[in-house]
Structure 1
Amino acid sequence: MATAARPPFLAMAAAALLVAAWWGGNAGTAEAQAPVFACDASNATLAAYGFCNRKATASARARDLVSRLTLAEKVGFLVNKQPALGRLGIPAYEWWSEALHGVSYVGPGTRFSPLVPGATSFPQPILTAASFNASLFRAIGEVVSTEARAMHNVGLAGLTFWSPNINIFRDPRWGRGQETPGEDPLLTSKYAVGYVTGLQDAGAGGVTDGALKVAACCKHYTAYDVDNWKGVERYTFDAKVSQQDLDDTFQPPFKSCVLDGNVASVMCSYNKVNGKPTCADKDLLEGVIRGDWKLNGYIVSDCDSVDVLYTQQHYTKTPEEAAAITIKSGLDLNCGNFLAQHTVAAVQAGELSEEDVDRAITNNFIMLMRLGFFDGDPRQLAFGSLGPKDVCTSSNRELARETARQGIVLLKNSGALPLSAKSIKSMAVIGPNANASFTMIGNYEGTPCKYTTPLQGLGAKVNTVYQPGCTNVGCSGNSLQLSTAVAAAASADVTVLVVGADQSIERESLDRTSLLLPGQQTQLV
């Protein structure tokens, strides 16, 4: 069953392997933008504030900042779209950036421009993890964080990246399985530690005292592995899990991520676990993540999940109660605007104390202190020399190719492999994904350095004849073009089939109902 879910990712690996990912952007002619930062050294007034004192500890600086805020100001720092606070010289900041397998444009905190038109795109984690190479996981994280910092220095990216996805891919019909390292808790744990350590490690920048290169986030906590399957949606799904199954299967990757990876953040999920929304479960958040595992960081909700527990799960009677129960359970940051809208009223109603709010935003500010956000212009600090020249480098692209090589899984070889370009006079390249570009990148993607399809890669080596076989991946009805595909295969020395799914078949918010190849692709094969 597991192998049936893998064809699209094998195709993705083949594409990554064949890509000569070269970035020919016009970075040399575009102008850099200033990155966002607080505590501008050129402003003498700010130098008097304790939170701008770089010699003080991060926690002391954060407490000083919180002490200067009104309640109305404080609630703005409970959400991902952090507002500017001009009187203290604090600019707006967007917490939500993604880096699942490279710097992504999915989160609003990151974007591409003529200055940095693309970033190195690694294979999806489901393939990378198949290498079983922990040092590779870390090396990928190091490249991704270098490119992220480079983009931050020119105003194109944040510093907080909500990756990796370390949920257990127990059911191969799950649409988001492509984002995960797979179904094994041990391998997923090793992936989490390696990738997170690579992302966050600040050693190369010469910084200490808990400083971070970027802040990673292990998600989605916990027992989350369904999106939308035959009417069952993640927003209302209640995972009934025994304590043993929770401890043996779903929790180990998160435990390793916090204890061994020292991750900066954990994201709670949409679903309930045994009747409680995870973002409102004090035992799971305050008890396990902070109490048992000693998280040194912040806890963030999946996007709009606080709103979901009130409006869709009907877990609380009022929005103020929802704001109160999540913050008191240990939530620090809300992806969405719910806490900004309802927290003041919750405090005024006596359902939440201002000290509870202080605790949450203090955790958030400590993280920004560790990232250097309150240390002035990042171009004058560690990693300040990074810029567009450090994105899509030849060594970064080669690591992406090497990752694809190590992750490809050969299920069977009857003597046909390896192929020799010298002995092949003609090759038929067949399949609905044979000339696909965007499909090869996967989801939670960024703009890659360059797109190269399997057909283009193979065509650069041998003489090829191309037939899609189906006009689309669904391969249903009149889309099947079997006769032309068969004719092309019959006249060629070698036939390469590139079949499988794409985001129209499985993705976030769309689970598969079958493990078979889509439509009539089996007939095509």
Structure 2
Amino acid sequence: MIGNYAGVACGYTTPLQGIRRYAKTVHLSGCNDVFCNGNQQFNAAEVAARHADATILVMGLDQSIEAEFRDRKGLLLPGYQQELVSRVARASRGPTILVLMSGGPIDVSFAKNDPRIGAILWVGYPGQAGGAAIADVLFGTANPGGKLPMTWYPHDYLAKVPMTNMGMRADPSRGYPGRTYRFYKGPVVFPFGHGMSYTTFAHSLVQAPREVSVPLASLHVSRNTTGASNAIRVSHANCEALALGVHIDVKNTGDMDGTHTLLVFSSPPGGKWSTQKQLIGFEKVHLVTGSQKRVKIDIHVCKHLSVVDRFGIRRIPNGEHYLYIGDLKHSISLQATLEEIKS
């Protein structure tokens, strides 16, 4: 229940102890340890699931498999854990919930696509009170509001991306798919920023610019700045004049109070720029049911709407940039101005 950087706690609340505060429980190990090298105990787990009103499976990893000094060899659940999950879910009389403990992503496509598994809760390494927190979420006392801080890739992604290649951009000629949500376009288990809640939130854009002029540092550099790339070098722009404010109303439209992390992404104009989108701002807001709050996200053109080309030069592409806020999409047209800016 703890990660690499943790002291020794005086005590731990396990998931079993946390759940027992809400309901009568029957507990079975299923596996002897996290490696789960055998399935001898699975029959007993199936029998228990057939008689339970609900089944909670706590699976995942620990520091014997992944740690600061220990790399994993794959993205699947260790040993027979996947078989245990599928067999118990098939046998369960009531809803089945999969709780995952891990520091990194796990390919749980099988569970995501299994209609008998009603929910997947990723809890990281939840710490000494983790069991209480898990139970509070499972029984609805607390409303989850987290967002994934990394992409969860399918296991076969590893065969296409050797760890000796640190390239971010995809290279179709070599079958290299690229890395991170900014460049990788293939299938994922769960995307970066994914997260669910017991309530629902609606976004409405209140104020955002439609057109932005990018003033150049001098008229001299303007003739050599945009060129064939149709982009402005950040070093040639007057960046101090390019701070924008985007105002968004966030409303809790559901039946439960909740915390929402508003994520704002941007994407450059189409064409040669290989970046799909990038996170440029976020804000966490707590909203009681039915309430609304206005959020301001500060966007700096030189930092947030620029891209790094293949030569390592940061540029601001001219043309239509897009902002993505939840299910909203907003365009901002950027064009260089030829007026000389005197410092």
Same fold (TM over 0.5): no
TM class by smaller structure: under 0.3
Q: Which has the higher helix share?
A: 1
What TM-score comes out, normalization by structure 1 length?
0.19
Q: Point out which structure has higher relative CO (alpha carbons under 8 A, 6+ apart).
A: 1
What TM-score comes out, normalization by structure 2 length?
0.26
